[in-house]
Amino acid sequence: MKYSIKFFLEKRKGITKNVPINLNVTFSGKRMDYYTGKRCDVDQWNGEKVVLTKVNPQLANGQSAREFNTDLNRLSLTIDDIFKAFEVKKINPSVLQLRNELKIKLGKITKLPDSESFYERFNQFVDEKNYQSEGSVICTKAIIKSLKKFKPGLSYGTFDIQCITDYRNHLIDAKNFSKNTVNLYLTKINTFIKYSINHGWAEKNPFNNYKIEPQVYGNPVYLTIEERDVLFNAKIENKELELTRDIFLLQCLVGCRFGDLMKLTKSNIIKGNIEYIASKTKDHGVRVAVIPLTKKALSIIQKYDLPGGKLVPYMLIRKMEENLKALFAKIEINRIVTIPDKKTRISKQVPICEIATTHMARRVFIGGLYKKGVKDAIIASMSGHVVNSRAFSRYYNIDIEDQKAAISLIE
Burial of 140: CB neighbours in 10 Å, binned 0-12, 13-18, 19+: buried
Same domain flag for 90 and 177: no
CATH number of the domain enclosing 172: 1.10.150.130
Residue 389: which pLDDT band, with cuts at 50, 70 and 90?
Answer: low
Burial of 312: CB neighbours in 10 Å, binned 0-12, 13-18, 19+: buried
Same domain flag for 266 and 318: yes
Same domain flag for 37 and 145: no
Same domain flag for 50 and 119: no
In a domain, 75, yes or no: yes
Q: Is the pLDDT of residue 343 over 70?
A: yes
Residue 383: which of 281, 315, 248, 233 has the closest Cα? 281
Q: Is the pLDDT of residue 326 over 90?
A: yes
Q: How far apart are CA 38 and CA 21, in angstroms?
A: 6
Residue 395: which of 251, 230, 255 has the closest Cα? 255
Same domain flag for 204 and 230: no
Boundary (domain end) residue, out of 83, 105, 127: 105
Name the DSSP letter for residue 359.
H
Question: Quick one: pLDDT at residue 235?
Answer: 95
Range of the domain at 124: 114-209
Same domain flag for 282 and 336: yes
Lowest-confidence pick of 80-84, 269-273, 383-387: 383-387
Cα torsion 103, 108, 112, 115 to 10°: value is -120
Question: Quick one: pLDDT at residue 134?
Answer: 67
Give the tens place of pLDDT for each residue, 75-84.
999 999 999 9
DSSP helix, strand, coil percent of the chain (3-state; round to 5): 50, 15, 35
In a domain, 287, yes or no: yes
For the chain, what is the domain count? 3
Strands (E) in 208-359, as ranges, are: 269-270, 273-277, 288-292, 336-340, 347-351
The overall average pLDDT reported for the chain is 84
Same domain flag for 83 and 125: no
Query: Can you give the pTM of this predicted structure?
Result: 0.56
Q: Is the pLDDT of residue 41 over 50?
A: yes
CATH number of the domain enclosing 385: 1.10.443.10
Same domain flag for 93 and 123: no
In a domain, 215, yes or no: no
Name the residue with higher pLDDT: 197 or 116.
Answer: 197
Same domain flag for 353 and 312: yes
